[in-house]
Amino acid sequence: MPASTFEPATTALAPAAAVSVAPAATTLAFALCGVALGSVSGLVPGLHANAFALALAAAAPSLPGPPAAVAAAILAAGIVHTFLDVVPGLVLGVPDAATAPASLPGHRLVLAGCGTEALRLSALGSVAALLVAVPLSVPLSHLVSEWSHLLRTWLPLLLAAVVCLLVWAEPTRRARVAGVGCFLLAAALGFLTLDLPPGGPLAAADAASMLAPLFAGLFGAPVVLDSVDASGPIPPQAEGRVGLSPGIVVRSALSGVGGGVLVGYLPGVSAGVAAVLALGGSGGATPNAEGATDRAYLVATSGANTATAVFALGSLAVVGAPRSGVTVALASAAPGGVPLGLTGLLAVVVLAGGAGAVLVPLVGDRYLRAARSFSHRRLSLSVLALLWSLSFLFAGVVGACAFAVAAVIGLLPPRFGARRVHLMGVLVGPVLVG
């Protein structure tokens, strides 16, 4: 993650008068434009939220408007993108029905004809997490800021504990051994590539990073590669009736919020990691007969994604440390401190989150119906070409090469029955050794 520094918390938490730098109407208009931009980008298959955020960081200096308005647009776009990217994620990489047990939870639901339900579960998880994370983020961020020296001291031990818990959560000894091996391979890739100088034409000078090609290779390309030879269309989807009780939905979302705390304040931890830990190791690997684990996993992952975005803002505004691609983009757009302050940022999050929750089922249902007529092979190959092109645009030739190597490593975990979350070693490994 690119290094960024900010003014002390008293400066980052700008007084209400600072919002007057950009009139409220202008800021709102920019935020709505961000919602529209994030809606489009979120529906692009394979476009990772971090890659999109880095593109925003590159474009930020040329955007006309006051810093507060530009920050609102970037934040709204990033938040809506994280809501809507579940839609192509459900369609992309859907395998044959015969291989469904080895596929991702969302794909298994689509194969069972429950794709529209999956969309609603994702939206419910995000909304529930938003309602909890927003009021919790202010006191929690100040608490983390107060104890930040202890967090830095114990960070390696905390990350090591997360890695051990992920390995222990695997259901078999073979999967645990594979998880350790995949973690070490990803960590080696991080050691070799993270400090390389990216030189892509779209990379902002102060936000250049190898993260976009590495994440696209480790987590995006393998799913697409596995789907290239998938045969058969996506089955018809039933009505979107939610198959989980309200209590389970709330508990799963709250577990995602708990995981989002880890992601928002600890470097190298992803929402997928948070969801696996929050559900006690269930979900994301093997389904149960009723698919309840898959449904709970989807709710928890969506909740963790949303909570992560909220807590990462707290980390940026109060602690002064960006923990997500969107906060890196905000840092690039406003290097002198976030002009909206934490309260203003959270207001934009609520606006964008509400829009995203409405758009997920509204647009997603139509997306699923249209996807049934796509050529699976042609779509997959087109997405692979897009991911490779983005890797080159963000990090040049070295990024394109890193993408190819990462894609090969990303194919390994499911071959041995392990989860891909171990591949977060690409960030955790270098952090562990300083």
Sorted by where each begins, the domain ranges of the chain are 15-432
> Does the pLDDT at position 21 exceed 70?
no
End-to-end CA distance of the chain: 13
* Reported confidence tier of residue 233, pLDDT bands at 50, 70, 90: low
Sign of CA dihedral 366, 372, 374, 379: positive
Query: What pLDDT was estimated at residue 98?
Result: 42
Sign of CA dihedral 183, 46, 414, 244: positive
Mean pLDDT of the 426-433 span = 88
Query: What pLDDT was estimated at residue 263?
Result: 72
Which residues does 248 contact at the CB level (< 8 Å), separation at least 6? Answer: 292, 295, 296, 299
- More reliable by pLDDT, 35 or 138: 35
pLDDT digits (tens, 9 = 90+) for 152-178: 788 888 889 889 988 998 888 999 999
Which residues does 289 contact at the CB level (< 8 Å), separation at least 6? Answer: none
* Reported confidence tier of residue 413, pLDDT bands at 50, 70, 90: very high
Query: What pLDDT was estimated at residue 351?
Result: 93
- More reliable by pLDDT, 400 or 95: 400
Query: What pLDDT was estimated at residue 16?
Result: 39
- More reliable by pLDDT, 385 or 275: 385
d(CA 144, CA 128): 23
Identify which of 59-63, 169-173, 322-326, 430-434 has the greatest average pLDDT. Answer: 169-173
Please answer whether residues 318 and 12 qualify as being in contact, where contact means their C-beta atoms are separated by less than 8 angstroms. yes
> Does the pLDDT at position 202 exceed 70?
no
Query: What pLDDT was estimated at residue 8?
Result: 42
Please answer whether residues 141 and 319 qualify as being in contact, where contact means their C-beta atoms are separated by less than 8 angstroms. yes
Residues 257-295 as b/e (b if ≥16 CB within 10 A, e otherwise) read: bbbbbbbbbbbbbbbbbbbbbbbebbbbbbbeeebbbbb
d(CA 209, CA 198): 6
Query: What pLDDT was estimated at residue 401?
Result: 93
What is the pTM (predicted TM-score) of this model? Answer: 0.77
pLDDT digits (tens, 9 = 90+) for 93-131: 665 444 444 457 777 888 888 888 889 998 998 899 888
d(CA 63, CA 425): 35
